[in-house]
Amino acid sequence: MTKIVECIPNFSEGRRKEVIEKIAEEIKKVPKVRLLDYSADQSHNRSVFTFMGEPEAVMEAAFLSAKKAVELIDMTKHKGEHPRMGAVDVIPFVPVKNMTMEECVALSKELGRRIAEELSVPVFLYEASATRPERKNLAEIRKGEFEGMPQKLKDPAWMPDFGKPEIHPTAGVVAVGARMPLIAYNVNLNTSDINIAKNIAKVIRESSGGLKNVKAIGVMLEERQIAQVSMNLTNYEQTAIYRVFELIKMEAKRYGVEIVGSEIVGITPMKALIETAKYYLRLENFNDEKQVLENYLIGE
Amino acid sequence: MTKIVECIPNFSEGRRKEVIEKIAEEIKKVPKVRLLDYSADQSHNRSVFTFMGEPEAVMEAAFLSAKKAVELIDMTKHKGEHPRMGAVDVIPFVPVKNMTMEECVALSKELGRRIAEELSVPVFLYEASATRPERKNLAEIRKGEFEGMPQKLKDPAWMPDFGKPEIHPTAGVVAVGARMPLIAYNVNLNTSDINIAKNIAKVIRESSGGLKNVKAIGVMLEERQIAQVSMNLTNYEQTAIYRVFELIKMEAKRYGVEIVGSEIVGITPMKALIETAKYYLRLENFNDEKQVLENYLIGE
């Protein structure tokens, strides 16, 4: 029963290719860690790495990549559109196989302790690893960003979970945690009116009364001149993709607008798509574990 | 790059548990072969085994199970609803991973030769392995069944592909071949009128002008008192499940009837369900290989 965990750290560097490559090398050099993907966004000035493997190896890769980022990224010189608070900004662990959420939480705490002790970067635990309700949401921790952190850490309510209440002078602070797989899902509308996408985003997202586990904004796809509802689905088991799709379709009708397409950005668990097929085909008594061939190809 | 092939032999024994268990033992004793499932049908007096693994091991298991069936099953005493022509009636190989259809055809020919030589059971090659167009369809080969085979084999058009044109006195003949994965798919209607299911089956199946790769009949689910369109989809890549589902829905409307549910019997490749999700979500640019997490868990 090999345990497999996924790690998706975000770094505050999306422009200097040589820095991104050096971070990638740290991950690649850990035996038995599989680097699935890494990509950088220039305007966000941010990069995202996805790798997986057995817990100890993945934690080692996460630590080494964080260490390299602390060494090479100077937050006092960082500018970018995406909110950020550290050189390595956030490190989530996601259970993939034979792994419980509790085990991912334990792993995140082990890494957090090590980052604080060895790299002198204060660590906040977030999502399933959070030690207080107000620290579950990464956006709350990150409020104030790198520039506001020295002040924020003076507040006893924002004492870091590991390390002293002083930011690392160039690397800031980092959030480490465990969470469910997140699906980045966007729905494209046959309108160039971004306000329609914004209105739909507002009614379907959790924060303003919509579906739980849905974060949504309205954006404009300039090249195609169409509006898009851009989302993060933070728990596809509770809040299925098809339900999000159908709810957007229903809300769009109000404006005489239709869905022209949708997209999943990055990697999704098979189960999220199988649930969708089960819904539309009205499948009765389908057992994912036993009836999907690929489940027999995945080792114990 | 480990090659994985699936084998789904059908045996003419669905009642004597001890015989079925002895066949299962032959498969289980081959190292590295994984027996996924086996099930028997009393009224059909027939059992179906599903196992997979590397080609040589799977072929060995197929041969040993055939040998045991020839030893323990006497077709002169066999009665059952399902058409049949041999103790081991049919042995298909299905490519699963890193395996081409041509390699499955080669495997089927190797097994066919061995069965004819070592077990003295004449072998017909069918589906992708067929040596003549009229032998592609298993139903054509099996026509006449066990009882009619001695006569049929006298016709030079039905000279077996391996072995002499004489049936094995108690084990009959066998068809061996390579084919795509087959999906057993049934659609349930909110009517107790079997004729509606029969009419729909007729218009959607390939043989009478419907969708290619679809075999369909109308049956009655007595317990639930509803009619069902019962199908085999012989190429889900060419003829997607959702297309079959939607076409049945459309035809059912003619009778004021709706689909209450559908079912996949046995095992399906993940891709068949992912295609369905892609259709209904109108997914753009989705790359199965790279965007489904489980594909990274399956070894090379």
For residues B31-53, give the mean pLDDT.
Answer: 92
Residue contact A268–B242, C-beta within 8 A: no
A111-156 per-position pLDDT tens digit: 999 999 999 999 999 999 999 999 999 999 999 999 999 999 999 9
Position A110 scores a pLDDT of 98
- Match domain B183-294 to its CATH number in 2.30.290.10, 3.40.630.190, 3.30.70.670, 3.40.1190.20: 3.30.70.670
Residue A9 pLDDT level (bands cut at 50, 70, 90):
very high
* ipTM at complex level: 0.85
Interface A-B, measured as beta-carbon pairs within 8 A, has a size of 134
CATH architecture classification, A4-178: 2-Layer Sandwich (3.30)
Q: What is the mean pLDDT of residues B272-292?
A: 95
Which of A224, A236, A258, A270 to mutate to probe the B interface, most B CBs <10 Å?
A: A270
Quote the CA–CA distance of A261 and A188 in Å, as a whole number: 5
Please name the amino acid found at residue A179. Answer: R
Residue A95 is which amino acid? P
pLDDT in the model for residue B146:
98
The pLDDT of B88-116, averaged and rounded, is 97
**At CA A237, angle to CA A232 and CA A243, rounded to 5?**
65
Q: Do B282 and A267 touch (CB under 8 A)?
A: no
Backbone angles phi, psi at A12, to 5 degrees: -85, 60
Q: pLDDT of B103-136, one tens digit each?
A: 999 999 999 999 999 999 999 999 999 999 999 9
Could you give the 3-state DSSP secondary structure of residue B45? Answer: coil
Average pLDDT value over all residues in chain A: 96
CA distance A261 to B20: 50
In 3D, which of A207, A192, A190 has the Cα closest to residue A248? Answer: A190
Residue scoring higher pLDDT (B42 or B166):
B166
* CB proximity list for A100: less than 8 A, separation 6 or greater: none
Q: For residue B216, what are the β-bridge partners?
A: B231
pLDDT(A299) > 80:
no
- Would the CB atoms of A281 and B4 count as touching at under 8 Å? no
Share of chain A above pLDDT 90, in %: 91
- Tell me what percent of the residues of chain A surpass a pLDDT of 70: 100
Q: Assess contact for B7 and B58: CB atoms under 8 A.
A: yes
CA A177 to chain centre: 10
Of B96, B259, B292, the CB nearest to A293: B96
Residue B300: which pLDDT band, with cuts at 50, 70 and 90? Answer: low
As annotated, the residues of chain A forming the CATH 3.30.990.10 domain(s) are 4-178
In chain B, what percentage of residues exceed pLDDT 70?
Answer: 100
Tell me: pLDDT of A79 over 90: yes
Residue A300's pLDDT band (cuts 50, 70, 90): low
Under 8 Å between Cβ of A260 and A189: yes
Q: How far apart are CA B184 and CA B5, in angstroms?
A: 19
Task: Encode pLDDT of B231-261 as tens digits.
Answer: 999 999 999 999 999 999 999 999 999 999 9
The yes-or-no answer on residue B44 being catalytic is: no
Q: What is the mean pLDDT of residues A59-72?
A: 98
B132-149: pLDDT as tens digits: 999 999 999 999 999 999
Q: Are strands A123-127 and A174-178 parallel, antiparallel or unpaired?
A: parallel
- Tell me if A78 sits within 8 A of A119, measured CB to CB: no
Least Cα distance to B51 among B11, B100, B79, B101 occurs for B11
Is the pLDDT reported for residue A163 higher than 80? yes
Instruction: Provide the mean pLDDT of chain B.
Output: 96
Write out the residue limits of the CATH 3.30.70.670 domain(s) in chain A: 183-294
**For residue B248, what pLDDT is reported?**
98
The residue with tokens 């004489």 is: B166
- pLDDT attached to residue A158: 97
Q: From the list B277, B282, B290, which residue is nearest A277 (CB)?
A: B277
Instruction: Please list, in sequence order, all residues whose beta carbon lies within 8 angstroms of the beta carbon of residue B69, skipping any fewer than 6 positions away.
Output: B11, B12, B13, B23, B87, B88, B171
Question: Using the beta-carbon criterion (under 8 Å), do A268 and B34 form an inter-chain contact?
Answer: no
Nearest to B183 by CA among B249, B261, B242: B242
Distance in Å, alpha carbon of A201 to nearest chain B alpha carbon: 17
CA A50 – CA A215 distance, rounded (Å):
21
